[in-house]
Amino acid sequence: MKRVFDIIAALVGMLLFLPLSIPIMLILRFTNEGEVFYIQQRVGKGYKLFGILKFASMIKNSPNIGAGLLTVENDPRIFPFGRFLRKTKLNELPQLINVLKGDMSIVGPRPQVPAHFEFFPEHVKRELIKIKPGLTGIGSIVFRDEETILHNSGKSYNEYYENDIAPYKGEIELWYIKNMSLWLDIVLIFLTVWVVFFPKSILYEKILKGLPEHP
């Protein structure tokens, strides 16, 4: 049932966002470095690596400079138009193709790069690889301002991500896996749209019951 929902939702999403996607691709093609898409290896179901698709928002060599694989607030590696794409989450639209291919679901734990996947505790990793990662999910909603959190941490970005963000992110992803249902997926899709327009909202805390407490 979840796979059927994923296919229908992905097809509908591609049709709905086609009028936006074409201008975005043209702007990216003729500005900055001329790159339209960015492909990065992420950990999927069964620990299988796959290439996640995004609209290009940063310079090509960004993983090897600055904050590396992490992105922080006002990151100088992000193009001006890329900043808009990331703020509105439009840079994630190409992942609808990943959903159609079967690499991802519409809703699920957000896929991690291999290095950051290893930051999760072992009991979390064992559960995460049992299901497909998602285009959106509880982790995307709770950590929608992750770039700001990292920027304001006062610690090494990787150290703070490993010791503070990853453990809690892992627990809320486990909460999703334990409570997974079609209805919950629909609620999380609504909340994803909601926090794009109201990024400071904590509506999810009122709607979703039993979430692990913030550390």
Angle in degrees, 0-180, between the axes of helices 2-29 and 182-197, rounded to the nearest 10: 30
Quote the pLDDT of residue 190: 97
The structural domains of the chain, with segments of one domain joined by +, span 2-207
What is the mean pLDDT of the segment spanning 48-69?
86
DSSP 85-131: HHHHTGGGTTHHHHHHHTS-EEESSPP--HHHHTTS-HHHHHHHTTS
Nearest-angstrom CA–CA distance, 134 and 68: 23
Q: Is the pLDDT of residue 151 over 80?
A: no
Span 1-58, pLDDT tens digits: 899 999 999 999 999 999 999 999 999 999 888 899 999 999 999 999 999 999 999 9
Nearest Cα to 32, choosing from 84, 87, 72, 110? Answer: 84
Residue percentage of the chain with pLDDT more than 90: 74
For residue 188, what pLDDT band results from cuts at 50, 70 and 90?
very high
Are 149 and 143 in contact, with CB atoms under 8 Å apart? yes
Listed in sequence order, the residues at least 6 apart from 211 whose beta carbon sits closer than 8 Å to its beta carbon are 138, 172, 175, 204, 205
CA angle, residues 138, 141, 145, in degrees to nearest 5: 140
Q: Is the pLDDT of residue 65 over 90?
A: no
